[in-house]
Structure 1
Amino acid sequence: MSILEPALAQKFIEKTAKNLEFNINIMNNQGIIIASKDASRIGDFHEVASSMLNGTMDTGVVDENQKFLGTKPGVNMFIDYKHKHVGVICVTGNPENVKAFAGLVKTSMEAMLEYELQMEGERRRKNKAEQFLYYVLFNETVDLAVAGKMAEGLELKRDILRVCILIKYDAQYQPRKIIEALTKAEGHSYQDIITVARNDDIILFKALSGDLTESIQGYKELLDAYIQSFVKRLPEGYQEDKICFFVGSLQMDIHHFKESFIHAQELGLRIKADNGTYYFNEHVLDYYRSLATIKAYDNAFNVYDMLLSEDDQIQLIEIVDALYKNNYNVVYTAKDLFIHRNTLLFRLNKLKGLLNIDPIANASDREFFNELAYYFKHK
């Protein structure tokens, strides 16, 4: 089967040659005319093209005195793709008059062929990528042998780290243009896999190539740089503050890709934001809290609901949220709450006395204090 298809050859004739004064014929690797300005010649055998392709003719220049089957005077030249002859293009007319022009037509045809085949390859890979991601992310049961075969078809390396990035954006934006900017950004890799979910979220599995230790240590910096490069390539009218990135957990095995996607999805559901980049590894505690029902928390903490008044509970929630945000630094926490340090200490000491704990000095008391606040906040 020839990679020089009739539809592509005729497209070239229509786009490039239809307004030219000379006739142009395009022959496939068997010497058959597959496209021509003269439609009546399509399907004819072209003896010179066939002889050039099988090596029995050294030149494709045909003058008035030479007679060949299905051939008129003109210049015939090879159409090459990746250093192989895949067909012949002919410009009919006096060889002296059309020789230079024939070279230009040949070069144009080869450029178009290369571009179209490259685009076709990308379209096929995109379809395969979509099928692969939909299979591993949305199927109830995943056959690892099938997933592995699909990964091989995409030429995915199995020994590199990947992370799912869920991208949400303004409803007016076109996912195609977002993806185009992603693929043009510095740091984009052939190993990246991108698709569009049914709700129009973009799912990107970003490859983090290199040494495993270095990849884990530096993945946030790498992704931040990649996202900044992406932002610079957004089309006019597309704003950074209307695009949000939710980064899931780091994974290497195909059968764990779904977990990275779920973790990114959970971030997207819990963090109500229109922009910014959010990492699952910075919200691990919130995720695992979500796996436990409030009933489970109630089983452990219901007695404290009776011990502390509603005002005490509200105050505890505010203090814990601020302490957590400020790494339990009392000075910064007081500033965050817009109160004096001594006021914070007074309120904190009251709670410490009621509960007989010291969350500032004792790590285990701090864990209890944090979870009690979570319970009061969500019960």
Structure 2
Amino acid sequence: MLISKEVAQSIVEEAVSIMNHNVNFMDEEGLIIASLDASRIGDFHEGAVEVLRRKKEVVIDSGQQYEGAKPGVNLPVSLNNQVIGVIGITGAPEEVQQFGKLLQRMTEILVKEAYLDEQDELEAQAREAFVQEWIQRNYEDEKLFATRGWMFGINIHKSRIAVILEMKDFQNEWYERIKNEKVGVKEEVNMQRYRKSLVRLIERHFPEKHEHILLPRDSARYILLLSVNDQQSQEGIRKSVVHRLDEIQQALLHMYQQQSVAGIGDVCTRPGEMRKSIEKADRALRYGVDNGHRHYFYDDLGIESFVYDVPLAVRERFVEQKLKPDQFKNLDEYLGLLQVFYQHNGSITKASDALHIHKNTLQYRLNKFTDMTGLDPRSHRDSTLIQIAIAFYHSS
């Protein structure tokens, strides 16, 4: 059967909503595979077999005329010049025959749409499988693999930069929607439709023939392999990537009120580098999520570049030992002050100006921090420990 039972049932329900008569869909063996009358599903329909044999409409006046058939009109359903099933309207022939051609045409349109959707899905799955092989370096002959890429319109030798785009609060929102045990499979379908709509929106911001690649990673994340011009300066590449991400994130917010965060890896000039760029994008993303950034480059990470390699329990223990959070009522305020202090290379004058406080006030707060933790932010040794502890604190 070229059309699944689920698709056939959706067609039946759509037709009934328009015609107000029971509609049945029979497969190429004359079995009813979709109907509003659930008791008839699986029954043999001799009238459908006659339609398949003749390849034209069969009108049934009496229930005694054909086995398993009721009065009504039955018509062949064709796809690519091949009869693949039969659609029938139950009712007095003189009442329902006027709907026959309309039902047949509508059904064939819906069948074709479903078939094309399935073909698109299969092609998308094949493309995703290829990209996954590329990322995992699951190939031996690079030339042969590159040739396979051309079939999908992908040039694996083109310079690219990996981005991971995460939809904020996606998991929690959909969990709240589907956790009710009364929610049916339609809510899952709605979620998949929503995700596809996000994909289409993102892809609309990819210029034609620039070979940008979009790969769903999980329910809330998407990998973007953005084509870049490696003749540009590093700053030029960064600006073009940020510009594209800004457009995508603004569109997501405008169309779906969907906030997002992006982590950006580094430029890959060889096919085998892509996995590393994705790993770096993932680290940048986690830092961006933890620190409230819309997008963040891996190259801008300092100590944070290795933070997530350290087990969470170890990070939490280090924070407890070095920052002693239980002794502070306003630890976040002190940590913000310290970050500005370190951003200005320990300059009291520059940091106090940036914080809009007097130099003596800054000195007092630094001394207070030392009294509370035993660590001096002005000490080279202690400042290293403090910055590691701050990075651990924001990642926990």
Aligning the two structures, in what range does the TM-score lie when normalised by the shorter sequence? 0.5 to 0.7
- Whether 1:50 and 2:48 are equivalent positions in the alignment is no
Counterpart CA distance in 2 for 1:31 and 1:79 is 13
Normalised to the residue count of structure 2, the TM-score between the two structures is 0.53
- How far the C-alpha of 1:221 sits from its partner, in A, is 0.6
Question: Residues 279 and 88 (structure 1 numbering): CA distance in 2 closer, same or farther, change over 3 Å?
Answer: same
Aligned counterpart for 2:279 among listed residues 238, 262, 265: 262
Counterpart CA distance in 1 for 2:53 and 2:213 is 41
- Whether 1:60 and 2:57 are equivalent positions in the alignment is yes
Task: Specify the alignment match of 1:169 in structure 2.
Answer: 168
Aligned counterpart for 2:266 among listed residues 249, 267, 273: 249
Question: Residues 136 and 173 (structure 1 numbering): CA distance in 2 closer, same or farther, change over 3 Å?
Answer: farther
Q: What does 1:38-117 align with in structure 2 at a 5 Å threshold?
A: 38-39=40-41, 41-42=43-44, 44=46, 46-52=49-55, 59-60=56-57, 62=59, 75-81=73-79, 85-91=83-89, 96-110=94-108, 112-114=110-112, 116-117=114-115
Task: Specify the alignment match of 1:229 in structure 2.
Answer: 251
- How far the C-alpha of 1:192 sits from its partner, in A, is 0.9
Question: Residues 227 and 267 (structure 1 numbering): CA distance in 2 closer, same or farther, change over 3 Å?
Answer: same
The one-letter amino acid of 1:157's match is: I
Assess if the C-alpha contact under 8 Å between 1:60 and 1:77 holds in 2: yes
3-state SS of 1:163 partner: strand
- Whether 1:280 and 2:278 are equivalent positions in the alignment is no
Question: Residues 249 and 192 (structure 1 numbering): CA distance in 2 closer, same or farther, change over 3 Å?
Answer: same
3-state SS of 2:277 partner: helix
The one-character-per-residue Cα deviations of 1:235-271 (angstroms, maximum 9, x if unpaired) are 5xx6x3xx43222223365533321221123224555
Q: Give structure 2 stretches of 5+ with no counterpart.
A: 176-190, 207-211, 308-337, 360-377, 386-396
Assess if the C-alpha contact under 8 Å between 1:184 and 1:233 holds in 2: no
The one-letter amino acid of 2:244's match is: L
Assess if the C-alpha contact under 8 Å between 1:164 and 1:206 holds in 2: yes
Task: Specify the alignment match of 2:384 in structure 1.
Answer: 378
Assess if the C-alpha contact under 8 Å between 1:78 and 1:87 holds in 2: yes
Question: Residues 21 and 258 (structure 1 numbering): CA distance in 2 closer, same or farther, change over 3 Å?
Answer: closer
Assess if the C-alpha contact under 8 Å between 2:262 and 2:294 holds in 1: yes
Q: What does 1:255-334 align with in structure 2 at a 5 Å threshold?
A: 255-270=272-287, 272-281=290-299, 283=300, 321-322=343-344
- How far the C-alpha of 1:222 sits from its partner, in A, is 0.9
- How far the C-alpha of 1:43 sits from its partner, in A, is 5.7
The one-letter amino acid of 2:241's match is: Y
Question: Residues 374 and 51 (structure 1 numbering): CA distance in 2 closer, same or farther, change over 3 Å?
Answer: farther
Assess if the C-alpha contact under 8 Å between 1:158 and 1:253 holds in 2: no
Normalised to the residue count of structure 1, the TM-score between the two structures is 0.55
Counterpart CA distance in 2 for 1:317 and 1:162 is 29
Task: Specify the alignment match of 1:208 in structure 2.
Answer: 226
Deviates more, 1:162-171 or 1:172-181: 172-181
The one-letter amino acid of 1:377's match is: S
Q: Give structure 1 stretches of 5+ with no counterpart.
A: 53-58, 291-315, 342-371
Assess if the C-alpha contact under 8 Å between 2:45 and 2:66 holds in 1: no
Counterpart CA distance in 2 for 1:208 and 1:180 is 19
Counterpart CA distance in 2 for 1:182 and 1:374 is 48
- How far the C-alpha of 1:60 sits from its partner, in A, is 2.2
- How far the C-alpha of 1:165 sits from its partner, in A, is 1.1
Counterpart CA distance in 1 for 2:293 and 2:340 is 25
- How far the C-alpha of 1:142 sits from its partner, in A, is 3.9
The one-letter amino acid of 2:201's match is: A
Aligned residue-pair number: 298
3-state SS of 1:3 partner: coil
Q: Quote the sequence identity (%).
A: 16
Task: Specify the alignment match of 2:314 in structure 1.
Answer: none
Counterpart CA distance in 1 for 2:161 and 2:115 is 29
- How far the C-alpha of 1:108 sits from its partner, in A, is 4.4
The one-character-per-residue Cα deviations of 1:300-346 (angstroms, maximum 9, x if unpaired) are xxxxxxxxxxxxxxxx997762269xxx9x997773264899xxxxx
Counterpart CA distance in 1 for 2:141 and 2:129 is 15
Task: Specify the alignment match of 1:219 in structure 2.
Answer: 241
Assess if the C-alpha contact under 8 Å between 1:244 and 1:273 holds in 2: no
Aligned counterpart for 2:155 among listed residues 155, 158, 164: 158
Question: Residues 39 and 244 (structure 1 numbering): CA distance in 2 closer, same or farther, change over 3 Å?
Answer: closer
Question: Residues 166 and 374 (structure 1 numbering): CA distance in 2 closer, same or farther, change over 3 Å?
Answer: farther
Counterpart CA distance in 1 for 2:291 and 2:244 is 22
Question: Residues 100 and 132 (structure 1 numbering): CA distance in 2 closer, same or farther, change over 3 Å?
Answer: same
